[in-house]
Chain A
Amino acid sequence: MTALNELGVRAIRDGVAAGDFTAREVADACNAAVASAAALNAFILATPDDALAAAERGDADRAAGRALGPLAGVPIGMKDLFATRGVQTSAASHILEGFVPPYESTVSQKLWDAGAGMLGKLNLDQFAMGSSNETSHFGAVASPWRKAGSNAALAPGGSSGGSSAAIAARLCPAATGTDTGGSIRQPAAFTGICGIKPTYGRCSRWGIVAFASSLDQAGPMARSVEDCAILLEAMAGFDPKDSTSLDLPVPGWSAALDPDLRGKRVGIPREYRMEGTDAAILKSWEDGIAWLKDAGARIVDVSLPHTRYALPAYYIIAPAEASSNLARYDGVRYGLRELPQGAGLQEMYAATRAAGFGEEVKRRVLIGTYVLSAGFYDAYYTQAMKVRTLVARDFEKAWAHCDVLLAPTTPTAAFALGDKLDDPLAMYLNDVFSVPASLAGLPAMSVPAGLDPDGLPLGLQVIGRPFDEQSVLNAGMAIEQRAGFVAKPERWW
């Protein structure tokens, strides 16, 4: 029998409901897997007691014949960007180290209400700013994957790198992620798992540490498309506490999953064929096109002419919003305070933020402050917001010709830890394929497509119309069925 920590969300839920095993046994298996994987550094904080308590509630409900929630018995990892009542929520920063929220984020509360339990708080890039998980104050996460014949530590992607590593290493069946410019999809691609960023506004942002509010969106990460759909159903839904929350019913995505794509048109955006993209990535894209054709879809060539401007626009808009959002860390209300001898209030702010923010966070706050400052606002910020309109308009025009778009998730497979650390711009360029859908607020998913010649996973990205997560999931499932991705990292940790 498969070890319980290797099972997916649906298999655990159904197995617990059927009495094949208890939720407690699953929680024990996952807690043990987490405890034995310290070398990955995927968790900032393990919460085995939370996982056990939720499991025991599930088992007691089943024993008493009470109705079980859609995630009863399923232990998950929680990205440490979600506020969890009574449990440190650090955003992987020093400035929030020791912060214990007296409230629970809407998304995490919904997951607990559905019966899920928390294995711990997952590592991430500091304030979700990064593409390799190396900007965490608590140290980088190591991907469970390694190149064939090499012991070099690889990046699990970022910012949801703890989530991706933990799922790929079978420490948990699923985890939450957040995606501002690719932070769910890129780590999913790097580690051979699935992840979906829904339409902007599907999941409440309330209680998620803010990075760039017009872009931030939560979503699930798991090892199958169906598991993502099940989780997203629990996470999504209207929340009056988030002013941009979508007041729409949550569709039954998992029950409606249908990989038959007859009558569907899949757009291939020609501008995503960029210089510098790995040959193996281009090959997997061709595979994906063939798979979707095989699923019955018609392939159409489409143009998104402003694609190359999406990334520079993002790196103005996101830092601008971050510089405003992160103004709250002042050493007064919560978090770190640095008070040099004899310092006044202004010096305390500056000293606190100097000590509490990491290099990448400082860089982005400074960029954001600059592009919003008097004299530069129009040239940078307004221009970027106009380019954002054009990027979104490109997608709108494409939807006249197709139902979903297929593209690579990333231009390369996972890179080694340290590779891009000294070159912020090279790190930013890794988000080139994921950022456009973020700027347009569109649902987008990464699904494993295969392994490159080094034995590293590659992801394919499906992008859909606003509110049409179903078509994204369906196309994702069609890929999943044909890719037959069963590879998993060989245990070294």
Chain B
Amino acid sequence: MSVDRAVVAKIASLARIRLDDAALDRMAPELNQILAWVEQLAEVDVSGVEPMSAVIPQALRLRDDVIDADPLTGGGVRDLVLANAPAAEHGFFGVPKVIE
């Protein structure tokens, strides 16, 4: 499977990365080269093999249902949460208007 310029433009749109024409021209052959190379995986017989999502088998832990169990990552730190925002106003993140 190879990707053409239109497919790369579609992927870029899904990934929310603006690519201009020059970038599309550059990226399409690079992605094709990489994809052609990873496609050798298709020759591996994986019948009956489960996909591995965790290398060390572990059960997910549950923590106690306590509010602000860890004060640093709990609530009540609005100003810290907003401190690095490029635009914060009135205690909220600011974004361009999304409703007409």
Interface of chain A residues 400 through 448 with chain B (CB within 8 A): 424-425, 428, 439-441
Interface contact B41-A390, CB-CB below 8 Å:
no
Interface contact A369-B51, CB-CB below 8 Å:
no
- Minimum Cβ distance to chain B for residue A134 (Å): 16
Residue B90 at the chain A interface, CB threshold 8 Å? no
> In the complex, what distance in Å separates the CA atom of A330 from the CA atom of B77?
21
11 sample A-B contacts, Cβ–Cβ < 8 Å, listed by A number: A243-B60, A313-B38, A316-B38, A334-B86, A348-B95, A365-B17, A370-B31, A373-B11, A386-B52, A388-B52, A392-B55
Q: How many A-B residue pairs have CB under 8 A?
A: 171
On whether A214 and B93 interact (CB within 8 A), knowing A240-B61, A390-B49, the answer reads: no
Interface contact B17-A350, CB-CB below 8 Å:
yes
Contacting residues, chain A, for B54 (C-beta < 8 A): 214, 244
Contacting residues, chain B, for A309 (C-beta < 8 A): 40-41, 44
Contacting residues, chain A, for B58 (C-beta < 8 A): 201, 244, 246
Interface contact A387-B41, CB-CB below 8 Å:
yes
On whether A385 and B53 interact (CB within 8 A), knowing A339-B96, A345-B96, A390-B46, the answer reads: yes
- Minimum Cβ distance to chain A for residue B32 (Å): 11
| Segment from A29-37, A185-193, A219-227, A374-382 that makes contact with B | A374-382
- Minimum Cβ distance to chain B for residue A93 (Å): 14
Contacting residues, chain B, for A428 (C-beta < 8 A): 34
Interface contact A379-B53, CB-CB below 8 Å:
no
Contacting residues, chain A, for B34 (C-beta < 8 A): 315, 363, 367, 424-425, 428
3 closest cross-chain pairs (CB), A and B: A441-B55, A385-B51, A337-B86
- Minimum Cβ distance to chain A for residue B93 (Å): 5
Residue A383 at the chain B interface, CB threshold 8 Å? yes
Closest B residue to A354 using CB positions: B18
Interface contact A366-B84, CB-CB below 8 Å:
no
> In the complex, what distance in Å separates the CA atom of A440 from the CA atom of B16?
32
Q: Mark B60-84, 1 if CB is under 8 A from A, else 0.
A: 1101000000101100010011011
> In the complex, what distance in Å separates the CA atom of A184 from the CA atom of B70?
31
A363 contacts which of B27, B51, B52, B70 (Cβ < 8 Å)?
B27
Residue B6 at the chain A interface, CB threshold 8 Å? no
- Minimum Cβ distance to chain B for residue A219 (Å): 15
Interface contact A424-B15, CB-CB below 8 Å:
no
Interface contact A366-B15, CB-CB below 8 Å:
yes
Interface contact B52-A370, CB-CB below 8 Å:
no
Interface size class of B (residues with CB under 8 A): 35 or more
Given contacts A345-B96, A366-B8, 20 further A-B contacts (CB under 8 A): A100-B84, A103-B72, A240-B61, A244-B54, A244-B56, A315-B34, A315-B38, A333-B85, A337-B86, A343-B96, A346-B16, A350-B13, A350-B18, A363-B34, A366-B31, A370-B35, A385-B52, A386-B44, A424-B30, A439-B55
Closest B residue to A201 using CB positions: B56
> In the complex, what distance in Å separates the CA atom of A247 from the CA atom of B57?
12
> In the complex, what distance in Å separates the CA atom of A369 from the CA atom of B13?
10
Residue A466 at the chain B interface, CB threshold 8 Å? yes
- Minimum Cβ distance to chain A for residue B61 (Å): 7
On whether A366 and B55 interact (CB within 8 A), knowing A337-B86, A348-B96, A384-B41, the answer reads: no
Interface contact A349-B16, CB-CB below 8 Å:
yes
Closest B residue to A438 using CB positions: B55
> In the complex, what distance in Å separates the CA atom of A222 from the CA atom of B85?
36
Residue A132 at the chain B interface, CB threshold 8 Å? no
Interface of chain B residues 1 through 58 with chain A (CB within 8 A): 1, 3, 7-8, 11-19, 27, 30-31, 33-35, 37-42, 44, 46, 49-56, 58
Interface contact B55-A214, CB-CB below 8 Å:
yes
A387 contacts which of B13, B46, B77, B85 (Cβ < 8 Å)?
B46
Interface contact A370-B11, CB-CB below 8 Å:
yes
Contacting residues, chain B, for A425 (C-beta < 8 A): 33-34, 37
Residue A19 at the chain B interface, CB threshold 8 Å? no
Closest A residue to B40 using CB positions: A312
On whether A388 and B51 interact (CB within 8 A), knowing A100-B84, A425-B34, the answer reads: yes
Contacting residues, chain B, for A102 (C-beta < 8 A): 77, 80, 83-84
- Minimum Cβ distance to chain B for residue A325 (Å): 12
Interface contact A363-B60, CB-CB below 8 Å:
no
- Minimum Cβ distance to chain A for residue B38 (Å): 4
Residue A344 at the chain B interface, CB threshold 8 Å? yes
- Minimum Cβ distance to chain B for residue A331 (Å): 6
Residue A43 at the chain B interface, CB threshold 8 Å? no
> In the complex, what distance in Å separates the CA atom of A262 from the CA atom of B59?
37
Closest B residue to A339 using CB positions: B96
Interface contact B17-A367, CB-CB below 8 Å:
no
Interface contact A363-B41, CB-CB below 8 Å:
no
Residue A306 at the chain B interface, CB threshold 8 Å? yes
- Minimum Cβ distance to chain A for residue B53 (Å): 6
- Minimum Cβ distance to chain A for residue B17 (Å): 5
Interface contact A366-B12, CB-CB below 8 Å:
yes
> In the complex, what distance in Å separates the CA atom of A344 from the CA atom of B44?
45
Interface contact A383-B56, CB-CB below 8 Å:
no
Residue A141 at the chain B interface, CB threshold 8 Å? no
Closest B residue to A308 using CB positions: B40
> In the complex, what distance in Å separates the CA atom of A441 from the CA atom of B85?
35
Interface of chain A residues 306 through 341 with chain B (CB within 8 A): 306, 309, 312-313, 315-316, 323, 327, 330-337, 339
